[in-house]
Structure 1
Amino acid sequence: MTLLILGLILWSLAHFYKRLMPAHRAKLGDKGKGPIAIALIIALLLMIFGYRWAEFIPVWSPPAFFTHINNLLMLIALFVFGMSATTGRLRGKMRHPQLVAVKIWAIAHLMVNGDLASIILFGGMLVWAVASVILINRSEEWVRPEAGDAKKDKLLVIITVVSFVVITVIHALLGVSPFGG
């Protein structure tokens, strides 16, 4: 669990650095991107291995039907995440689509994972996403981008479904069945 918690802390600090110490970050310029990227990669590795190696400590038993809700929420999370990159009509409908997607992802995973390591990982990422939205909203004005072509939204739907299938296959290869069982 220690690696998992250290990973969450490093992930949060690396992301919050720009917001909490903007003058210091600005002094680093483009040279500061490398160390932050390295810190984020290390954080991801700590979280992945910390989660995989954590002892399974059951806290609660999710009902089986939550699996279906989780899968629906994951489709929504992928779609919302993709809204950050779309140039379609949906561009600009939401200020923080990636962070909203992380919140949906975290809640979906909290619904179907009742062990302590899952609660720490997904709960920690949920707290990070909420705090990130608050920090960003306090630190910068948002200029809503203009809506684009509706055809790009159709492409987003296709990319969402393909991404869901790929993620499902990866989960299955890791020994985790996204459909229960």
Structure 2
Amino acid sequence: MEILSLGLVLFLGLHLIPTVPALKAQLVHVFGENRYKGLFALLAALGLLLIIAGYGRAPAGPTLFASSIGARHAAPLAMIISFILFAAANMKGHIRAWVKHPMLLGLTIWALVHLLANGHAKATLLFSAFLAYAMIDLLSVIRRKSYKPFTPVLKFDVIACVAGLLLALLVMTFHRQLMGVAVVPWGV
């Protein structure tokens, strides 16, 4: 669990830097904009690799709470919604205009349903860390009023919905191969 924990601290810690604008500004000043972005990307990728490797290597650990049957049944629909929100996050569509921060809302839904659908220690650590990050960052962007208005275009909503649906179905289909747990009857 140490590798998983280290990956979470690195990956999520980096992603919390923008919640402290003075710290981000100082880092950009010290490193320069491009070097800051490069270091951020490199360290975030390392953190993500540590999370993946750490989760795969960590024992499930003790069961901390009973898995929620409701969360397991809701997970496929919740994942479709999450993936649509992820896709909409960088598109100037009505979904993004209405939700304002679709990536953080999608991450919150993803983390919460996975947290409730699992009960063992490593899953609780992983999904509660991502849920806490999403909530902290969401509160921060709301407090900082970090939203730039734009004119939404319907075609981006269509693209986000189709891409999100297809990606969610693909992940659900191969979830057993990717994560070791079959989540839908048609999964391989």
TM-score above 0.5: yes
The residue type equivalent to 1:37 in the other structure is: A
User: Equivalent residue for 1:13?
Assistant: 13
Pick from 89, 105, 108: which aligns with 2:110? 105
The residue type equivalent to 2:113 in the other structure is: A
CA separation in 1, counterparts of 2:96 and 2:125?
A: 32
* 1:85-117 alpha-carbon deviations (Å, 9 max, x no partner): 333333311221111111000011012111011
* 1:5-56 alpha-carbon deviations (Å, 9 max, x no partner): 1111111221122442033122121111111111111111111111111112
TM-score (norm 1): 0.89
Number of residue pairs the alignment of both structures matches: 180
SS in 1 for 2:96: coil
CA separation in 1, counterparts of 2:68 and 2:56?
A: 23
User: Equivalent residue for 2:25?
Assistant: 23
SS in 2 for 1:105: helix
The residue type equivalent to 1:86 in the other structure is: M
Q: Using the TM superposition, give the Cα deviation of residue 154 of structure 1 relative to its aligned residue in structure 2, in angstroms.
A: 2.5
1:145 maps to 2:150: yes
Alignment of 1:115-130 (within 5 A): 115-130=120-135
Q: CA RMSD in A?
A: 2.0
Pick from 160, 167, 170: which aligns with 2:164? 160
TM-score (norm 2): 0.86
Does the CA contact (< 8 Å) of 1:68 and 1:179 recur in 2? no
Q: Report sequence identity in percent.
A: 26
For structure 1, list consecutive stretches of 5 or more residues without a partner in the other structure.
none
* 1:62-89 alpha-carbon deviations (Å, 9 max, x no partner): 2445322111111111111122133333
CA separation in 2, counterparts of 1:88 and 1:65?
A: 31
SS in 1 for 2:99: coil
Does the CA contact (< 8 Å) of 2:175 and 2:183 recur in 1? yes
